Amino acid sequence: MKLVDYLTVDRVVKLEGATKTQALGQLIDVLSGGEPKVSRGELEKAVWHREGLMSTGIGNGLAIPHVRMADLKSSSMTVGVSREGISDYESLDPTPIKIIVLIAAPQGQHEIYLKLLAKVTQVLKHSQRREAIIAAESARQIYEILTGAQDDRG
């Protein structure tokens, strides 16, 4: 599993809003831009339905919202970074969320979906890497930290 296969530089953004709604809305905009068969509204509904079950803030300033939808083209991820942090996200710890990775997979790619979740968690487990991402100046830099991190491991 290589993250390069699921992430492109243009899907790495600096988060503009300070609330969960604004942050997720921005990421949903980015992701739905490349999805011909899924409307923005449907994607938004799916993301918030999942958030309603249990927040995807997993602690250490990291959130991994994730959805599966029947009509998605392929599995992909979108990354948003906020230096200020989003304090209304609800997370396993009180740290405000600074990195959000939105993962979306077609219904039929269950295995890739779970592997992606695990891979992203694994990569962002290291605090230096998270700090480097938050401190990064450009989307390309963030992209390289994220995808290069796993290249080290072969």
Tallying the residues shown for the chain, one arrives at: 154
Please state, as a whole number, how many other Cβ atoms lie within 10 Å of the Cβ of residue 42. 16
CB of 62 to other proteins, least distance (A): 10
CB 116 within 8 A of CB 71: no
CB of 141 to other proteins, least distance (A): 25
What the block records as the tokens of 141 is: 């830099």
Nearer to other proteins, 27 or 62 (CB): 62
Nearer to other proteins, 7 or 63 (CB): 63
CB of 106 to other proteins, least distance (A): 12
Please report, as ranges, the residues that interact with other proteins according to CB under 8 A. 50, 53-54, 56, 58-59, 64, 66, 68, 92, 107, 110-111, 114-115, 117-119, 121-122, 125
Distance CA 151, CA 2 (A): 8
Nearer to other proteins, 121 or 138 (CB): 121
CB of 66 to other proteins, least distance (A): 6
Distance CA 21, CA 5 (A): 28
Cross-strand bridge partners of residue 13: 80
Nearer to other proteins, 73 or 110 (CB): 110
Cross-strand bridge partners of residue 76: 104
